Structure 1
Amino acid sequence: MDHDPMNLNKLLIVDCTPKQNNNNNNDNNNKESFLIKDDGLFQINFSCQLTNNEVCDKVERAFNMAGDIITYALTLNTPIIVDVKFIVMEQDELGGAAPTRYISLLDEEDQVERFYPQALVKQIQPQPPTTYTYAESDISAEFNSLVNWHFPDDHGSIGKDQYDILYTILHEFIHGLGFITSWRGLDKPEKELTPYIVTVSGEPAIDPTELPFNFHGFRETIFDKFIITVDSNGMQNRLSSFANELNQFNTSASQFTDFYNQFQNSPQYDAAKKVLAYSTTKNSLIFMPKGSDSITDDGIMLETKINPFQTGSSISHVDSLIYNVGNSDFLMRRQSVAGASLNSLVTKSHNVTGSAIGPKLLNVLSSLGYTLANNSKSSATKQSIVVIDFTLISLITLCIILITTI
């Protein structure tokens, strides 16, 4: 199964006012249980549309384990709230997650407005001016109940045709924290890429063809700020420079078709075509963590081998060949690994951080604005190894054994 773990066409980012959960949403065929872990800094609102309570309990435990892994790596000031549905989806889909809401903030470093995931904005200290309303949840996620999942507390080894649910959940939660690009095509097949189109509400326009159409520029995510381009001659440029060029385009078009025709005939359109070329050429886009200057030592090669471009897969993942199952930063590859447990992948990677969140992924999260926990930072610098035995979590809680190497 070629896993597209972040399908933005299915999980929409919408402008909505917070709503109360409907805890009575039951029907004759499905039994929904709403289970909330409210005793920590990663809270799960869980809806399981299965009649098998035992399976629902195993799924919920896996979600909470993923939250524990994240809170072990990050210092959170405010709880992150995740709305999760375990439902019937298309057979070839594992699941997906995305920020429930983006909030536009001015970057003081370069004076550019970018979209920040709500989960990240809530961690910023001191809090930015509250001219916006938080959605009820920070991350929205769906996972497929039809998949042959292996659970951390299952007896026996993972089967060759099974997928480790904890691996998939953790991967998707990282997308919800902000490992996600704004760049996408305006038409199918993609002829160009642009950041999100900003609507009059200040929200990303996921489907700009919907009326009324009001163009207020293009806007990247905070993840995009740290991406550089590298051409065949080794010349480097910031991806944001292309966004700046695109924002020289202006129009009063009230329909998307008129906007698109004008845009294609504008001088700025060439920048959109160049970004598409970079995004479909191997080793052309690199995430450079804040304060880093060495591509070899610090850069994270992003997924640009897919041609044609795939929204949700291209750019929003690391290169699947470089960060293979033996690499410490395997987690954000776009392809899930059938027949491999998360524990076995961490062991093969010899990850000095001790979990599936590798050292370069920690640098990504830190660059976005999250504060790394002291144990994560010391793990990377002192070469300490943390062995996480997920099979014991179902008995008590997350069991972490620290083995410090000499």
Structure 2
Amino acid sequence: MAGDIVTYALALNTPIIVNAKFYVMDPKELGGATPTRYISLLDEDDQVERFYPQALVKQLQLTSPVTFSYSESDITAEFNSLINWHFPDDKGSIKKDQYDILYTILHEIIHGLGFISSWRGLGLDTPEKELTPFLVTGSDDTSITSYDIAESPFIFHGFRETIFDKFIIIKDSNGIQTRLSSFANELNQFNTSASQFIDFYDQLQNTPQYEAAKDVLIFSTTKNDFIFMPKGSNSIPDDGIILETKIKPYQAGSSISHVDSIIYNIGNPDFLMRRESILGESLNDLVIKSGNITGSAIGPKLLNILSSIGYNLADNPIKSSATKQSIVDFNLIITLCIIFITLNI
């Protein structure tokens, strides 16, 4: 069902494989998903390398002198078996105490397709002191996570955003607009020969570049500051998509990588990528209440997002600006970036 909705919206030339698990999770979480693998591609628009989800790279069918081995699945997803789910083949309508599993699966697939920001806390402290894009290193140990990062040797190769981040602008309280990528560019002015994360982190905190990381954290917790501007768009009121930046403190997995939960509420055709699901409402009911503008739960602004990052829409083929695969396959030192959808309580 969810796959049918995606296929209705996008012109896919290669199957998308989802590895899904159904098990006991935190009672407050419905599920989560992430691209199984990111691939670094050169964006010829601005000559910047960014991470693209494997699902998208396979659709681009790039010609490259480099042979790349894909992971077996494109998207890794997990769903909470503790939740009182309503399934598509259940008899009767959804009950008031049920969540529609079709809604949650579709929401998570969209994250796995690339609706995901790289910006997150760099240190081990909570709440976060700063936000940076993914940290890229030369470590050969692919099992490294944030829990053992402090003791793991690495060679710093810079910070790298996702293709989703490319289209985000920041509009501050004075109306000044700045591309989020400009903060990544500032952070990448930092250079170090530190071979341990703790030394690297100490050095970074004492540089002018660190101010950029602190500024992004402030913007990420200020209402309406992050706006996704689709490719070729000019008008924020007409084309911009307001991202979730109301949560204080910053919440990994919820902040930035969702649309604003108030603006895109029930009745808005772009409700799907809110961070909270809706109790007692089926996906079909929500589509009807939103006016069924696109013929599915993937609303017009969400279609613009998917088109901007590189997918061909079913009735509007586009061309991605990513044409070259990175020669070096770096490792990421990050926790598996699961983006969660939570209960609406």
Quickly name the TM-score band, shorter chain normalised.
Answer: 0.7 to 0.9
2:82 pairs with 1:146: yes
2:274 pairs with 1:336: no
2:9 to 70, 73, 88: 73
- 1:86: Cα distance to partner? 1.4
Q: For 2:272 and 2:80, how far apart are their aligned partners in 1? A: 19
The one-letter amino acid of 1:175's match is H
- 1:225: Cα distance to partner? 0.2
The one-letter amino acid of 1:314's match is S
Instruction: Give SS of 1:75's match.
Output: coil
Q: Deviations over 1:3-43 (max 9, x none)?
A: xxxxxxxxxxxxxxxxxxxxxxxxxxxxxxxxxxxxxxxxx
C-alpha spacing 1:126/1:204, structure 2 compared with 1 (3 Å):
farther
Give the conservation status (yes or no) of the 8 Å contact 1:199–1:205.
no
Question: Aligned residue for 1:195?
Answer: 133
2:98 pairs with 1:157: no
Q: Deviations over 1:313-367 (max 9, x none)?
A: 0000000000001100000000110111101100000031011000000000000
C-alpha spacing 1:300/1:289, structure 2 compared with 1 (3 Å):
same
* Residue correspondence of structure 1 range 296-315 to structure 2 within 5 A: 296-315=237-256
C-alpha spacing 1:107/1:376, structure 2 compared with 1 (3 Å):
closer
**RMSD of aligned Cα (Å):** 1.8
Question: Aligned residue for 2:289?
Answer: 348
Question: Aligned residue for 1:107?
Answer: 43
Instruction: Give SS of 1:229's match.
Output: strand
Q: For 1:299 and 1:268, how far apart are their aligned partners in 2? A: 28
The one-letter amino acid of 2:291's match is H
Q: Specify every segment of 5 or more residues in structure 2 that has no aligned partner in the other structure, as ranges.
A: 319-345
Q: Deviations over 1:253-296 (max 9, x none)?
A: 11111111111101101100110111000010000000000000
- 1:129: Cα distance to partner? 4.1
Give the conservation status (yes or no) of the 8 Å contact 1:196–1:206.
no
Tell which has more relative contact order, 1 or 2 (C-alpha 8 A, sep 6+). 2
Question: Aligned residue for 1:61?
Answer: none
2:60 pairs with 1:124: yes
The one-letter amino acid of 1:138's match is D
2:198 to 252, 257, 267: 257
Q: Deviations over 1:70-113 (max 9, x none)?
A: 01110111111111111222222211110000000110110000
Q: For 2:67 and 2:213, how far apart are their aligned partners in 1? A: 32
Give the conservation status (yes or no) of the 8 Å contact 2:139–2:154.
no
C-alpha spacing 1:128/1:342, structure 2 compared with 1 (3 Å):
farther
> Identity, % of aligned pairs?
76
C-alpha spacing 1:126/1:254, structure 2 compared with 1 (3 Å):
closer
- 1:205: Cα distance to partner? 7.3
Specify the structure having the higher radius of gyration (Cα): 1
Give the conservation status (yes or no) of the 8 Å contact 1:196–1:204.
no
Q: For 2:144 and 2:172, how far apart are their aligned partners in 1? A: 30
Give the conservation status (yes or no) of the 8 Å contact 1:285–1:301.
yes
- 1:209: Cα distance to partner? 3.1
1:213 to 154, 160, 164: 154
Q: For 1:205 and 1:274, how far apart are their aligned partners in 2? A: 28
Give the conservation status (yes or no) of the 8 Å contact 1:72–1:376.
no
Q: Provide the TM-score with structure 1 as the length reference.
A: 0.74
Q: For 1:178 and 1:133, how far apart are their aligned partners in 2? A: 19
Q: For 1:75 and 1:210, how far apart are their aligned partners in 2? A: 45
Q: For 2:298 and 2:25, how far apart are their aligned partners in 1? A: 27
The one-letter amino acid of 2:76's match is S
Instruction: Give SS of 1:113's match.
Output: strand
Q: For 2:228 and 2:261, how far apart are their aligned partners in 1? A: 15
